[in-house]
Amino acid sequence: MAAPLPLSPAANAALAGAGITKTTAAVKGGLAAKAQAASEDFEAMFLNSMFGQMFAGIDGEGPFGGGGTTGVWRSFLSEEYSKSFAKAGGVGIAKEVYGTLLAQQERAASAQPQIRPVP
C-alpha cells in the first residue's frame, strides 16, 4: 500500500476545523486508502482531459501515419500519461481532494446515529 498523500495547509486547516486529526482519519477502517485511490483517480481523469486537449491539434504524422488509428493510439497514450503523472504526484489536485474526502467521511461517520443492541 502506498504511503498516504501529504496534505496541503488548506486541507490540514479544513480537517482541524472539523475536529479531525491525521491519526483518527488514517485509522478509520481503510477509508484513508480508499480516499487516496479515489483522489488519484480523479486527478488522472482531469489530466487525461488536459492531455486529450493538448493532443487534439497535432496532426497524425510519424510512425503510425495519419489514419484513423492514430486517434485511438493517442487516447491510450494520454490515458497512460495521466495515470503516470497522477501516481507521481500530479499537479496537486489529489492532495486537495484527499483532504476533502477525509473530512467528508469523518463528518458522515460522526453524524450517523449510534445503534445499540436491544436488551
Flag whether the pTM goes above 0.85: no
Residue 72 included in any domain: yes
Counting Cβ atoms within 10 Å, is residue 60 exposed (0-12), middle (13-18) or buried (19+)? middle
- For 22-42, give the DSSP string: HHHHHHSTTHHHHHHHHHHHH
Residue 39 included in any domain: yes
Residue 23 included in any domain: yes
Total domains in the fold of the chain:
1
Q: What is the pLDDT along the chain (119 residues), one digit of tens a residue?
A: 455 566 666 666 666 665 555 555 444 557 788 888 999 999 999 999 998 888 877 766 666 566 667 777 888 888 999 999 998 988 999 999 999 988 888 887 777 666 666 76
Residue 57 included in any domain: yes
CA separation for the pair 89, 91 (Å, rounded) = 7
pLDDT of 40:
92
63-95: string of b/e by CB count within 10 Å (b at 16+)? eeeeeeebeeebeeebbebbbebbeeebeebbb
CA separation for the pair 79, 84 (Å, rounded) = 9
Residue 112 included in any domain: no
Residue 118 included in any domain: no
Which 3-state string (H, E, C) describes 38-65?
A: HHHHHHHHHHHHHHHHHHHCCCCCCCCC
Residue 116 included in any domain: no
Residue 28 included in any domain: yes
pLDDT of 93:
92
pLDDT of 1:
45
Range of the domain at 29: 9-104
